[in-house]
Structure 1
Amino acid sequence: MSKLSPADLDRYIFSRTGAANDDLLVGSGYGEDAAAVAVDDETMVVSTDPISLAAERIGTLGVAIASNDVAACGGSPEWLVSTILLPDPDVDVLDEITAQLDAEAERLGITIVGGHTETVAGLDRPLLSLTCMGPTDRYVPTSGATPGDAVILTKGAGIEGTAVLATDFRADLETKGVDTDTIERAADYFADVSVLPESAVLSPVATAMHDPTEGGVLNGLVELACASEVTIDLDASEHDVPVRRETRTLCDVMDVDPIRVLGSGALLATVPVEDAEETLTALEAEGIEATVVATVDEPDAEGRPGVVYEGDHYTGGVRDDMYDLWE
């Protein structure tokens, strides 16, 4: 599995959006987490996301990921529409998924307002597609980063990936000698996947925000940089990308890169450099770990936006290291 290239998205997706509507403030675009629609005097943020690979906690992750996209645009997630597609009419599986959806939506203060459920021939695992909506008084795009901004990352790389490794691949980890306590602590990372708390702190000051998902923090930075037409030099000698101990342990054992695995739970934000220290202090006051991991630069001499990391210049989607584990 991998994401479509920016060129293919432009050709087949972004250029085919049906009828024009003056109430659409921000539509589909490379790296954008959600759309913005004018509703009376407010702005409504709308986003949709599928999830299929995280078998053990698919409902929990589905709610968090869909609501993260709204929060990453400065919105307050309030309503959720849920589509559940099952490979067969197994009510025990449906019971588990809907219980997870209910519990996580309740925890985050989100109301599930409707959806659709059916069985589909040819599926080999459940598939969810969730649409989340919520209002905002300040929409923050992915495309707003400007040269000189500081790039902030909350929590750390691979939060979601760590939790999924600890559950979907527990047997592999145990076989490879990872102790039970480490696996249990890693599984608890599901509680950290939501970015609603940090988005509330960052949205008033951020020039851009983005929720890294597939491809991890590296792909999230690529999408932010390309959407903003800037370059981000991810230089480990100057800035450390925070990686928690459990993340490092599980990723090393499974031979995946922490910054290239499922990244939900972290929030990327660019802020004016003069506001960076105060913003980090505000996040710390809310108990949220955060680090400046890079600075936004002009595109390179050839005019190419993207991310420079370990000598390579990334200008398109980064394949998630975890995909190979499911194949």
Structure 2
Amino acid sequence: MIGKISRKFFEDNIINRIGAVRKDVAVPPRNGVDVGIIAINGSYMAVTTDPLYIDRSFGFKKAAWFAFHILASDLFTSGIKASYMSIDLNLPQEITDEQFNEIWNVIHGECEKYGIEVVTGHTARYAGVSFPMVGGVTLMGVGDRYITTENASPGDVIIMARSCGLEASIILAYTFPEYIKESLGSNTLNAIKDKFYTMTCVPEELMAIDYGIGERITSMHDATEGGLLNSVYEIGYASGNGVMVNYNSIIIDSDIAAVCSLFNINPLRSISEGTLLLTVKREYGNEFTEMLKKSGINASIIGEVTDKTGGMKLIKDGKESVINPEDDQLWGAVSGGVKRGLK
């Protein structure tokens, strides 16, 4: 497979070999959980790590913004705001000082905006390094409480914010703009490209933190690798529960649906940074959904967390199907497009 390793590979090859097991690690590496949690003197440190992903087709400024928000969107799912960054920059030899500064100025600006300080790192140019993976970043924050997908409970409603297939459609639009323009028209291409700065969950996560984590918002999870359905599955798996999702309530923007259809991929099974899933105590579900909408973020209650015996189910046209984890469909579409010589 291309992209993130499978749940089975993780469980067979990694999870039982994570070094010394410490009592102060409250949340170690787990499938479907975006962060690790360390208990420190009555407080909790949330930690997450990702590659520094710089896609040159976006342009360096947009790519750097996206790289930051991939990481921040994970960290904030803990209900803890980010405070510290450790960054390793393994740069290609051909990158110029001007290009580096385009990247670094954006990272500095976003860190400053959200109250984050870079506390350590490493920067170098190396032979054999190529875009888009040019290093790694760790983000940390400290708070007095936290949530993870393990905290979702039967009876909680599941809210999605923004359309599924968001990141996949944007990557395709920047990778194959001529093909999309010729096939779907310039209006669709421009509409997709205009969504670029919605590929973040941080605004919704900050709203959730202010609204109340634990007693109101029980978990948050961004719909990345494998798309919406993989992320719904991970909520059920991590919490030890079932899920029931109503297909007709899922948000799929028409322009995103058109691009995904053009490349024969399912928007529900394609990477979607910027799409946030939240589990919310039932009595607060409608209120928080309306809060998101009033802030300009489209949102919908798409289902609920159920007892484990209910399994992972998707209801479409009155028929139930089982939700299973699957490989993300975007990467095959991208490699296929490249082989076809699409521009």
Question: Structure 1-normalised TM-score?
Answer: 0.87
2: CA distance, partners of 1:262 / 1:20: 32
Name the counterpart of 1:324. Answer: 332
1:214-247 deviation per Cα after TM superposition (whole angstroms, max 9, x unaligned): 11111111111111122223332xx421122332
Structure 1 residues 132 and 270, CA gap change in structure 2 (3 angstroms): same
1:276-316 deviation per Cα after TM superposition (whole angstroms, max 9, x unaligned): 11222333343332110112222347xxx545466642343
Q: Tell me the CA shift for residue 163 of structure 1.
A: 2.6
Structure 1 residues 114 and 176, CA gap change in structure 2 (3 angstroms): farther
Q: Secondary structure at the match of 1:234?
A: strand
Q: Secondary structure at the match of 2:47?
A: strand
- Give the counterpart letter for 1:322 in structure 2: L
**C-alpha RMSD of matched pairs (Å):** 2.5
1:128-181 deviation per Cα after TM superposition (whole angstroms, max 9, x unaligned): 4221112233311111222221110012212222332222222331242431x4
Does residue 66 of structure 2 align to residue 61 of structure 1?
yes
- Give the counterpart letter for 2:198 in structure 1: D
Name the counterpart of 1:148. Answer: 155
Structure 1 residues 248 and 272, CA gap change in structure 2 (3 angstroms): same
Range with bigger deviation, 205-214 or 45-54: 45-54
Structure 1 residues 248 and 7, CA gap change in structure 2 (3 angstroms): closer
The answer as to whether partners of 1:51 and 1:58 remain within 8 angstroms in 2 is: no
Structure 1 residues 81 and 187, CA gap change in structure 2 (3 angstroms): farther
The answer as to whether partners of 2:27 and 2:37 remain within 8 angstroms in 1 is: yes
- Give the counterpart letter for 2:286 in structure 1: E
The answer as to whether partners of 1:222 and 1:307 remain within 8 angstroms in 2 is: no
Structure 1 residues 252 and 326, CA gap change in structure 2 (3 angstroms): closer
The answer as to whether partners of 1:234 and 1:294 remain within 8 angstroms in 2 is: yes
Name the counterpart of 1:159. Answer: 166
1:244-292 deviation per Cα after TM superposition (whole angstroms, max 9, x unaligned): 2332232222322222222111111111222211222333343332110
Name the counterpart of 1:218. Answer: 229
Name the counterpart of 2:300. Answer: 291
The answer as to whether partners of 2:289 and 2:300 remain within 8 angstroms in 1 is: yes
The answer as to whether partners of 1:193 and 1:265 remain within 8 angstroms in 2 is: yes
2: CA distance, partners of 1:106 / 1:324: 37
Gaps of 5+ in 1: none
Does residue 189 of structure 2 align to residue 183 of structure 1?
yes
The answer as to whether partners of 1:225 and 1:307 remain within 8 angstroms in 2 is: no
1: CA distance, partners of 2:89 / 2:175: 20
Name the % identity: 27
Q: Secondary structure at the match of 1:160?
A: helix
Question: Structure 2-normalised TM-score?
Answer: 0.83
Q: Paired residues, what number?
A: 320
Structure 1 residues 291 and 4, CA gap change in structure 2 (3 angstroms): same
Q: Which has the higher helix share?
A: 2
Name the counterpart of 2:86. Answer: 81
Structure 1 residues 201 and 242, CA gap change in structure 2 (3 angstroms): same
2: CA distance, partners of 1:21 / 1:10: 19
